[in-house]
Every structure is written in structure tokens, then in C-alpha cells.
């Protein structure tokens, strides 16, 4: 058993208790009976709860328990997949045989005897928050709510929510690996609305980490801070002016701006798109794809971070992968199928949303590392541009590298100083072109502790983003104010 797995912590009776190596070996044998080359079993048990405080009242409490098995069988690049929520012997066998049908013929391989693998323990949690009494969590929401309301008389509405999850996975593979992990997640979010003279604006703040309730005792993580931050953004944006339209200099603030890396390069470096030659980074390993100031890593091993994983959903350890080093493309994010294609090692990036989904190469915590510049110098160097502080999200077209991302808090820079707040606006660019436009990189690297979730092929997984202050010499700002 790996160190990360402590079933004693389980917040509910664990329905995976009866799943042992003997059962798994039988199911793997059934999955390979039609001639598959490789099979894996993915058992998942997830407990979740959520609390919503609206208009200072606990409107609703929710909980969920999900259990299931996903069976995958590979033959060449083809995947057969089936799942069941019912862990009866008959249903599990049926799922194994259904997934196995992908292999119409072929030599029948027997699964290798299972050996359990040691794992990391990068998000140890003394106790799942799910085991703590509900009123403790409601009290946290009340603190956030009161802080938001108390921030300014113009705050007319506050919604605060807390959600918690405990996910246990056990993975058995036909090449003999047995791996398991427990993945906690605790999320707090506050949305505030400010109103003045008939004008309204909203602001959001939140955090999500792989921790227990001790999260809120850490510096900078008190619920009040998120209440005040959401309220501050809503109030500040009341007097925001229309953003300019057209190409200009943009300074990305530290932390959340990492969403740009996620969209501009991260997705394009997922190995499936490169294996299929549909990414704009296909065949570019070893080539210069960014300014030499750019070093981009995807790091699954940051303690307690939202995107961290001890183990990916194919049973391989999460790791730190350098994707771009001083502007040169070093490697892709690999899962099993792609690593086999590229004749290289897996990188621990095979992730899935749940037992209902097949794994895909996915990001974990994607970051641009810090450089040499003083953040103040970076802002001072801009005569007229935009300073980007908060984002709601982004999207990329993998094939051509075009991406957009949406700013929810930004400021005009005039003669080296931040001046007027700007209304919500998009930035649009092309990944490789924008990374070549990076002309200054600050030494103030920050990992965002926000509630980022990445979607691909209909599957959502938690991720992290991070960056220092960065200057982009030219990118298109999509405002409404004509030039």
C-alpha cells in the first residue's frame, strides 16, 4: 500500500474495501480475453458536500457519493472503454468484456501479477474536511459574507459557497501495477455585487487547494480576505471605463495571468495533439518556440496545490516536467498511448474526470518561471497599455494556436503608471507569436491559488496556473473604444 493511501481517513464506509488483487487479476484477464494488448481498471470512490450561503442564509446543503469502475482495453492506438456504478461481480465482468471487444483478434495475453507501487505524499491532510461538523463550514461562509458586506455600503448582494471532496482511486494494470491515491479538495468562493446609481458590477474571489479545514488558518486564506477581495473588485469596477481596442503593450500581473500559458502553450503541448499532428507545436521539439526569457514547466508535485497529483489516472507518479527551457521546446505532456507512440517515457499526465472517462494527456500546475526584472520597472516601461490582474478564463484553438482570455479586472497604463480601471475585456493572440513577444519577466513568481478547472473533450479536471509579472510587447486588446 502506498503511503498516500490511508483508508482510516475515509469520510464514509469505503465501498472499495472488498476490491483486492485476486479480483482485479480475474477482471484484467477477462478484459484481455478477446486479444487486447493492455488493460487497466480504475476504481473510484468520491464523497462530496457543498454549502451555499445566499442573502446571508444557508440556502441549501448538498452531498454526493459516487462509486464506480472504468475498464480500458488498448490495442494499438485504439481504446475500448466501459464502466459500471454497480460493483457486483456480474456487472464488473460485463464491463471488462465490453471494453475488451475493441480487440477483434490477436494473441491472448495474460495479465502480470500485481505489485503495489510506492507513491508520493504531496498533499497530506490530517483529516478530511468532510469529517468536520457542518456548522464549522457554515461559520466560515458567514465570515466571508460579513466581510464582503462590511467592506462597502454599495455591496448589495453576496453569495459564498464552500465545496469539499474526497476522492479515492485504485488502479490495477495488466502489466502488473497496483497504485492508489486519496485526493482531497477544498474550495471556497465568494461572489459580490455592488450597486451605485443604477449601475451594477460583480466581483469574485476564491481559493481551492488539496487541504483540510486548516486551509483557512493559513496566512492570506482567511474567508474574510476572499469576502473583501470580491467586494473590492465589484466596487472598483463600478467606475471602470470602456477598454481600448487594438494591438498594444500588455503587462500581465503575477499569479492568475498563468492562464495565458495554459491556453497559449499548455494545450498545444499535450502529446495526443502532437501524435495526431493537429497541434501547431507538432515536430518542434528542440526548436525555439518562445522568447529566450520563457521557461515553462508543468509541475504536479507542488505541495497541496489544486493541480497537484501524487498519481495520475493511469497509475503513474505525478512529476515536474520542463516543457520550454529558455525558449526552446523540450517535451510534451504524455499519457500511455502517446508515450508509446513517441517511444518515450510517460510524464504522469494521463488524467481523467472520473471512472466514466478514458484518460487523456492533461496539464497539472502550468507555470512560467520567474526572471530578473523588477515588477515596477516592467510597468514603468510602458507608455500606453493594459495591466491585467484578474481573469475569468480562456480558450484555445489547438490547431492554429489562436487563443482568447477574458479579463475581469484590468487597468490602463499611462506613462508608466496604472490609471483607470477597465471594463471586462478579452485579449486575443496566437500562442507561439505571443510567447515571442515576451520582452520582460519579473522575479515575483506567484502560483495562483484560484479555482481553476480545465475542460477537454468534455472532461473537467482541476489545474493550477502561475507566472511572475510579464511584459508582452504586442497583443490585441478587444475593447469597445475605437482607436
Nearest distance from C-beta of residue 57 to another protein, angstroms: 5
Please report, as residue ranges, which positions from 250 to 289 form the binding site for another protein (by CB under 8 A).
276-280
Interface stretch with another protein, choices 27-35, 308-316, 361-369, 398-406 (CB under 8 A): 398-406
Nearest distance from C-beta of residue 385 to another protein, angstroms: 14
Strand partners, 428: 404, 476
Of 250, 158, 145, nearest in space to 203 by CA: 158
Among 3, 7, 20, 77, binds another protein (CB under 8 A): 77
Nearest distance from C-beta of residue 229 to another protein, angstroms: 17
Nearest distance from C-beta of residue 40 to another protein, angstroms: 15
Residue 195 interacting with another protein (CB under 8 A): yes
Residue 380 interacting with another protein (CB under 8 A): no
Among 16, 33, 67, 413, binds another protein (CB under 8 A): 67
Of 52, 47, 86, 85, nearest in space to 63 by CA: 47
Of 240, 205, 185, nearest in space to 390 by CA: 205
Q: Which residues of 230-267 are buried (b: 16+ CB within 10 A; e: fewer)?
A: bbbbbbbbbebeebbeeebbbbbbbbbbbbbbbbbbbb
Interface stretch with another protein, choices 215-223, 313-321, 387-395, 438-446 (CB under 8 A): 387-395
Residue 405 interacting with another protein (CB under 8 A): yes
Residue 395 interacting with another protein (CB under 8 A): yes
Among 327, 350, 394, 468, binds another protein (CB under 8 A): 394
* CB of 76 or CB of 118, closer to another protein: 76
Please report, as residue ranges, which positions from 155 to 184 form the binding site for another protein (by CB under 8 A).
156-157, 159
Angle between the N-to-C axes of helices 21-31 and 89-100, in degrees from 0 to 180, rounded to the nearest 10: 40
Among 401, 442, 464, 468, binds another protein (CB under 8 A): 401
Nearest distance from C-beta of residue 182 to another protein, angstroms: 20
Q: Tell me the number of residues near another protein by CB under 8 A.
A: 85
Q: What is the DSSP string of 213-272?
A: GGGGGSTT--HHHHHHHHHHHHHHHTT-BPPBEEEEEEEEPTTGGGHHHIIIIIGGGBHH
Nearest distance from C-beta of residue 135 to another protein, angstroms: 7
- Spatial CB neighbours of 127, under 8 Å, sequence gap ≥ 6: 9, 212
* CB of 18 or CB of 483, closer to another protein: 483
Residue 68 interacting with another protein (CB under 8 A): yes
- CA-based Rg of the chain, rounded to a whole angstrom? 24
Q: What angle do CA 142, 143, 149 make, to 5 degrees?
A: 85
Please report, as residue ranges, which positions from 105 to 144 form the binding site for another protein (by CB under 8 A).
134-135, 138
Strand partners, 167: 46, 183
* CB of 63 or CB of 383, closer to another protein: 63
Interface stretch with another protein, choices 29-37, 83-91, 411-419, 464-472 (CB under 8 A): 83-91
Please report, as residue ranges, which positions from 1 to 40 form the binding site for another protein (by CB under 8 A).
15
Of 235, 184, 225, nearest in space to 205 by CA: 225
DSSP class of residue 481?
A: B
CB distance 478 to 425 below 8 Å? yes
Interface stretch with another protein, choices 110-118, 124-132, 238-246, 363-371 (CB under 8 A): 238-246
* CB of 385 or CB of 479, closer to another protein: 479
The whole-angstrom distance between residue 441's C-alpha and the CA centroid of its chain comes to 23
Amino acid at each position: 500500500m502506498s503511503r498516500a493511501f490511508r483508508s482510516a481517513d475515509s469520510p464514509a464506509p469505503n465501498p472499495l474495501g472488498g476490491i483486492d488483487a485476486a479480483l482485479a487479476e480475474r477482471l484484467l484477464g477477462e478484459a484481455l480475453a478477446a486479444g487486447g494488448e493492455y488493460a487497466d481498471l480504475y476504481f473510484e470512490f468520491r464523497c462530496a458536500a457543498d454549502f451555499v450561503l445566499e442573502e446571508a442564509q444557508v440556502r441549501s446543503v448538498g452531498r454526493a457519493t459516487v462509486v464506480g469502475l472504468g475498464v480500458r482495453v488498448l490495442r494499438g492506438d485504439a481504446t475500448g472503454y466501459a464502466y459500471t456504478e454497480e460493483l457486483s461481480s456480474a456487472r464488473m465482468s460485463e464491463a471488462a468484456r465490453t471494453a475488451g471487444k475493441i480487440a477483434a483478434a490477436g494473441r491472448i495475453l495474460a495479465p502480470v501479477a500485481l505489485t503495489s507501487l510506492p507513491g508520493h505524499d504531496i498533499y497530506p491532510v490530517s483529516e478530511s474536511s468532510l469529517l468536520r461538523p457542518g456548522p464549522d463550514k457554515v461559520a466560515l461562509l458567514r465570515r466571508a459574507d460579513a466581510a464582503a458586506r462590511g467592506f462597502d455600503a454599495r455591496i448589495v448582494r453576496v453569495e459564498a459557497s464552500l465545496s469539499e471532496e474526497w476522492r479515492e482511486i485504485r488502479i490495477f494494470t495488466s502489466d502488473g501495477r497496483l497504485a492508489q491515491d486519496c485526493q482531497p479538495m477544498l474550495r471556497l468562493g465568494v461572489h459580490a455585487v455592488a450597486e451605485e446609481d443604477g449601475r451594477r458590477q460583480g466581483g469574485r474571489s476564491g481559493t481551492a487547494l488539496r487541504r483540510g479545514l486548516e486551509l483557512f488558518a493559513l496566512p492570506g486564506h482567511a474567508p474574510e480576505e476572499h469576502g473583501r477581495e470580491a467586494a473590492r473588485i465589484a466596487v472598483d469596477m463600478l467606475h471602470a471605463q470602456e477598454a481600448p481596442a487594438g494591438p498594444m503593450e500588455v503587462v500581465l500581473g503575477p499569479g492568475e495571468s498563468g492562464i495565458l500559458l495554459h491556453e497559449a502553450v499548455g494545450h498545444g503541448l499535450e502529446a495526443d495533439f502532437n501524435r495526431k499532428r493537429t497541434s501547431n507545436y507538432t515536430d518542434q521539439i528542440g526548436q525555439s518556440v518562445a522568447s529566450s526569457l520563457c521557461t515553462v514547466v508543468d509541475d504536479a508535485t507542488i505541495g497541496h496545490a489544486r493541480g497537484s497529483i501524487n498519481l495520475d489516472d493511469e497509475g503513474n507518479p505525478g512529476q515536474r516536467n520542463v516543457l520550454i527551457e529558455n525558449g526552446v521546446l523540450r517535451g510534451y505532456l504524455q499519457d500511455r498511448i502517446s508515450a508509446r507512440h513517441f517511444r518515450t517515457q510517460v510524464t504522469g499526465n494521463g488524467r481523467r474526470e472520473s471512472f466514466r472517462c478514458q484518460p487523456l494527456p492533461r496539464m497539472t500546475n502550468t507555470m512560467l518561471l520567474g526572471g530578473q526584472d523588477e515588477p515596477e520597472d516592467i510597468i514603468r516601461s510602458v507608455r500606453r497599455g493594459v495591466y491585467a490582474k484578474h481573469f475569468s478564463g480562456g480558450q484555445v484553438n489547438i490547431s492554429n494556436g489562436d487563443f482568447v482570455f477574458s479579463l475581469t479586472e484590468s487597468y490602463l497604463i499611462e506613462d508608466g503608471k496604472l490609471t483607470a480601471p477597465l471594463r471586462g475585456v478579452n485579449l486575443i493572440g496566437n500562442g507561439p507569436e505571443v510567447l515571442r513577444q515576451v520582452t520582460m519577466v519579473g522575479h515575483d513568481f506567484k502560483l495562483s491559488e484560484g479555482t481553476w478547472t480545465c475542460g477537454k473533450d468534455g472532461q473537467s479536471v482541476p489545474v493550477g496556473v502561475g507566472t511572475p509579472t510579464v511584459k508582452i510587447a504586442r497583443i490585441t486588446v478587444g475593447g469597445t473604444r475605437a482607436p
